[in-house]
Amino acid sequence: MPELPEVETLKRRLNEILPGKTIARIQIFHPKSFFGQVDELIGQTITAVNRRAKILTFQLSNHQFLMTHLKMTGQLIVVGQGTRVGGGHPNADWVQDLPGKHTRIQYSFIDQTQLFFNDQRIFGWMRQIDQLGLDQELAKYGPDMINSLVTVDYLAAQFKRRSMPIKQALMDSSIVAGVGNIYACEALFAAQILPFRPAKSLTNQEITELLTQSRRILFKAIDLGGTTFDGKYVDIDGLAGGFQNELQVYGRAGQPCLVCGRPIQKIKLGGRGTYYCAHCQK
DNA sequence: CGGAGTGTTAGTCG
DNA sequence: CCGACTAACACTCC
């Protein structure tokens, strides 16, 4: 589930409860889910939680970092005295006893609070890393779409030398970070641009509109706490978001376009499900 | 049983 | 070296 708005939502929630907590114990249940030195983390206090692209970083009192990418199915859940806070991929682990079937790492803090990293498909990871390593990792990413560093001129320069579909260019994190499959579909619909158009074919006016709409949608999704698909879990306080009610095209194949009434199309682009309106998007 | 799923990266080829 | 394309990662649900 996690795209930029979901990760940002998670960051804000974690920042309200994790700073000041000291790691007492770490249990790794799956070797592919953790990299780095556990010893660098034990006894350290979390001072802040930050986000860049879809990556979360936990800053520690010894100037090391705990870094995580949830990929498709990762979740972070903090369980305290009668409280449960977190976010990420919505599934039954949100409500079940933890550690559960998909718990890959468990952090225990000295105040008895627990942090669980659950990840069904084991694409996600957490790692211990120092400042230099963190900088090197983050250097692979273009600026966040919601960062003002992303300008029409910047995007135009990137797009004009690429023949790949604009949707793939929009989702290419080395060009611009934080736009995943859902929000790419939604932004292209809002900007009235067909997803398979070569990136280099966009006019400056179209790029301007795409940038404006991408930002608007991402900020709105953050305001609503992200997108939660599985209806079974949307009522759980503190975990679910509300943007699923705002989706215009994603997941609506065959249903009427909310603007013109014609059926929403679904194709595959770069191996990903792509939804659009053949009439409204040019 | 086959296919699809909210993300990224390694490898290949031109 | 760059861009385009594909497979792979591992698991659950429909």
Q: Specify the CATH number for the domain of residue A227.
A: 1.10.8.50
Assess whether A101 and A199 both reside in one domain: no
pLDDT of residue A233: 60
A134/A156 same-domain check: no
Tell me, yes or no, whether A281 lies in a domain. no
Burial class (CB in 10 A: 0-12, 13-18, 19+), A117: buried
Residues A175 and A124 in one domain: no
Q: Which of A3, A8, A206, A209 is catalytic?
A: A3
pLDDT at position A236 is 60
Low-confidence ranges of chain A (pLDDT < 50): none
Q: What is the pLDDT of residue A88?
A: 86
Residue A267 sits in the same domain as residue A199 = yes
Q: Which domain holds residue A191?
A: 152-276
According to DSSP, residue A257 is labeled: P
pLDDT of residue A36: 94
Looking at residue A245, what is its pLDDT?
86
Last residue of a domain, one of A111, A138, A165: A138
Estimate in Å the CA A153 to C1' C12 gap, whole number.
Answer: 43
- Per-residue flag: A140 CB under 7 A of strand B: yes
Q: Which of A103, A138, A173 is the last residue of a domain?
A: A138
pTM: 0.94
Question: Taking a C-beta distance cutoff of 8 angstroms, is the pair A68, A55 a contact?
Answer: yes
pLDDT at residue A239, as a whole number? 75
What are the pLDDT digits (tens) for A35-69? 999 999 999 999 999 999 999 999 999 999 999 99
- Among all chains, which residue has been given the structure tokens 């983050």? A138
In this prediction, residue A237 carries a pLDDT of 60
Pick from A71, A103, A138: which residue ends a domain?
A138
Based on the domain organization, do A183 and A215 belong to the same domain?
A: yes
Whether any strand B atom is under 7 angstroms from the Cβ of A6: the reply reads yes
Indicate the pairing of strand A114-119 with strand A265-269: unpaired
Residues A63 and A93 in one domain: yes
- For residue A20, how many other CB atoms are within 10 A of its CB? 11
Alpha carbon dihedral A32, A36, A38, A43, in 10-degree steps, equals: -140
**Which pLDDT tens digit goes with each residue over A209-252?**
999 999 999 999 999 888 887 655 655 666 778 888 889 999 99
Out of A51, A52, A54, A104, pick the active-site residue: A54
CA of A123 to C1' of C9 (A): 6
Phi, psi of A226 (to 5 degrees): 90, -170
Distance CA A198 to C1' B11 in A: 24
Protein-proximal positions, strand C, CB < 7 A: 3-13
Q: How many domains does the structure of chain A reveal?
A: 2
Residue A239 belongs to some domain of the structure: yes
State both tokens at A50. Answer: 């930050």
A263 catalytic, yes or no? Answer: no
Asked if A98 and A183 sit in the same domain, the reply is no
- Tell whether A179 and A252 lie within a shared domain: yes
Nearest residue to nucleotide C4 when comparing alpha carbons to its C1'?
A164
